[in-house]
Structure 1
């Protein structure tokens, strides 16, 4: 669906530019967008390499195990249907840990692996299980302590204080995570009453 929306925007933009006789603006915007995209990517690569290095140091120092042990009771509460020693829980904790540290790109592979493991537990392969829905909600709304990607983008565009968004981001992601958990629990309760 999203592909069709983007295709519509592109075709509509080119059509309007052609109708107004400004097709050269489309070409200019294409090159400007490509240049801007490359610039942003290089900035993101540097900040991602830095934070992934910090993550590796934290892993070697045992901080990730500590974070996982702190998350374990929360994960057990949020995913009661997943067996205690199932591999999905490890991937879920890694995903949550990476999201908390603001490493969304590093969290994605863990989230995909967690979904694959949860799908193995799913009795109805055509419908997402409650645990899969919970993971999706948490992954989307995750609490973020350090929004590394946003800080990197702000640095690329010469922000005077790229890290000033840390407090507001923490508050916003805290509220969104609580809302995601509340809505998830509400739907679970509603569905259990209906069945």
Structure 2
């Protein structure tokens, strides 16, 4: 649906530009935006490679394993059935740990595996379980210790201090995760 909306907006804009005799301005704007997009992507690519390397070092050094040790007992308290299933818990810990370290590409396969494992132990196969809903909230509102994507975009856009977002990101994502978990726990008693 969103594709149709964007197509409509772009089409109407181009049509209005042509009807009002400003087609040359539209052409110049399209060329300028494509040039700036390519420049941003090239800048972003370098910074993202740097952060992916740093995150790989954190993973190889065992930092992500230490985070996983901290997360396991917390998740066992929050989850009903999923906290008792080692396969679900293991993939969930890896997903959340990867997200916390800014490795969202690495987190995606673990998230899919977690949902498969949670579906396997789900009693109502046609309805998402409380643990599935809680996992989705934790995945979406995951605490970001290193928000690599935002830092990379800020660096590519020429920020003087792209890393200054780290503390506000930790605070904001922690608040979001807490509110999400509380809402899930309150709502699971009613639905």
Q: How far apart are the structure 1 equivalents of 2:146 and 2:10? A: 34
Q: Report the aligned-residue RMSD.
A: 2.4
Which residue of structure 2 aligns with residue 100 of structure 1?
100
Aligned residues: 191
Which of 100-109 and 141-150 deviates more?
100-109
Which of 128-137 and 106-115 deviates more?
106-115
Q: How far apart are the structure 2 equivalents of 1:166 and 1:92? A: 24
Kept in 1: contact 2:100–2:145 (CA 8 A)? yes
Relative to structure 1, the CA distance from residue 28 to residue 66 in structure 2 (aligned partners, 3 Å threshold; closer, same or farther) is: same
Which of 43-52 and 132-141 deviates more?
43-52
Relative to structure 1, the CA distance from residue 131 to residue 35 in structure 2 (aligned partners, 3 Å threshold; closer, same or farther) is: farther
Relative to structure 1, the CA distance from residue 62 to residue 112 in structure 2 (aligned partners, 3 Å threshold; closer, same or farther) is: same
Following superposition, the deviation at residue 70 of structure 1 comes to: 0.6
Kept in 1: contact 2:155–2:162 (CA 8 A)? yes
- Give TM-score, length-normalised by structure 1: 0.82
> Would you say 1:72 and 2:80 are equivalent positions?
no
- Give TM-score, length-normalised by structure 2: 0.84
Which residue of structure 1 aligns with residue 48 of structure 2?
48
Identify unmatched segments of 5+ residues in structure 1.
Answer: none
Which residue of structure 1 aligns with residue 144 of structure 2?
144
Which of 85-94 and 27-36 deviates more?
27-36
Identify unmatched segments of 5+ residues in structure 2.
Answer: none
Following superposition, the deviation at residue 159 of structure 1 comes to: 0.9
Following superposition, the deviation at residue 77 of structure 1 comes to: 2.3
Following superposition, the deviation at residue 83 of structure 1 comes to: 5.4
Which residue of structure 2 aligns with residue 38 of structure 1?
38
Relative to structure 1, the CA distance from residue 36 to residue 128 in structure 2 (aligned partners, 3 Å threshold; closer, same or farther) is: farther
Following superposition, the deviation at residue 95 of structure 1 comes to: 1.6
Following superposition, the deviation at residue 61 of structure 1 comes to: 2.4
